[in-house]
A and B are shown apart, each in its own frame.
Chain A
Amino acid sequence: MKPGIDAIQDEIIEEFSMFDEWMEKYEYIIDMGKSLPAIAAEYKDEDHENQRLSEQSVATCSIEWGSGRF
């Protein structure tokens, strides 16, 4: 069974509690972002643009286990 949202939140809070400084938290999450695979080229179009951020930011979402994933 998929863990609930509360359990996921607690896990994230615990993971980030090892850092004292905001900059360390930012570094950690930026490094995690860099390790992710790049978004598929098919989503790099106007339909997926963040209108506030313009063409440098695209997003897509899917439904998995009843939850939206971005």
Chain B
Amino acid sequence: MKVIPVLDNGQLDMDVYAQLLNEKVKIVAVNHISNALGTINPVEKIIGMAHEHGIPVLIDGAQATPHMEVDVQALDADFYVFSGHKVFGPTGIGILYGKEKWLNAMPPYQGGGEMISRVSFEKTTYNELPFKFEAGTPDIAGVIGLGAAIEYLQGLDMEAVREYEHQLLIYATEQLSTIEGIRFIGTASEKASVVSFLIEGLHPYDVGAILDKLGIAVRTGHHCAQPLMDRFGIPGTVRASMAFYNTFEEIDALVNGVKKAIDLLK
């Protein structure tokens, strides 16, 4: 496995990416938006460059789908995945989009009801797509819940959502910048509404614990991205991620909360 390096500002090193592409590469897998840093990766360019070498691309869109309109066909993504709970739907369910030619070429990964068309001792014929990959009794309740969540999102003006969240990001970055000893991890020019930071001399868990007591929900730790934390030489970050339901007043509360945490812990 080869890894696309990350620059100091959290952007992918596209020069190295270009050098990594060769006939040995079977697939490129990259996230649309970094959950830990908020970087919006140039996936259209990434896909185009991979396709020049005939390499399929899988995009993890878990962080993108609730924040922007995604058109898998315009992106020309071979695979695009996201999870239900990140689009305000049920947990334990998600979406795998794949181009028909790849899905037809792939064998089923699970056996069970509905995924076969005809079985004999001599030969097994699998069912057509998508049933080939949906063995057994499906998660019916989850599917209905996820469908409702996606319909809800589709009823929103996603361009307006993106613009509002961008304003939240600018405001949060400006206001948090006034705090002495703050260090932002992830300062890419193209960012989603995620602010990941550290306070000098304080462990992110301690800051998060105080914010939690103040009723402010942030995520602390390595964000399931330990290699990325190693890249920056840090144990983890405090991460505030904002969505269209958040307000500017809540950002003020976050900033005041961080200041209180510093007073308490230093």
Contacts and interface: CB of A to CB of B under 8 A. Distances in A.
Given A26-B210, A26-B213, A55 B235 contact: yes
A27 B263 CA distance: 9
Contact of B203 (A23, A30, A53): A53
B236 interface: yes
Chain B, interface size category, equals: 10 to 19
B224 interface: no
Interface residues of A, number: 11
Chain B interface helix/strand/loop/mixed: helix
B205 A26 contact: no
Contacts of B210: 26
A70 interface: no
Contacts of A53: 203, 205, 235
Interface of A: 22-23, 26-27, 30, 52-57
21 contacts: A22-B213, A23-B213, A23-B260, A23-B264, A26-B210, A26-B213, A26-B264, A27-B264, A30-B264, A30-B265, A52-B221, A53-B203, A53-B205, A53-B235, A54-B222, A54-B235, A54-B236, A55-B235, A56-B203, A56-B235, A57-B203
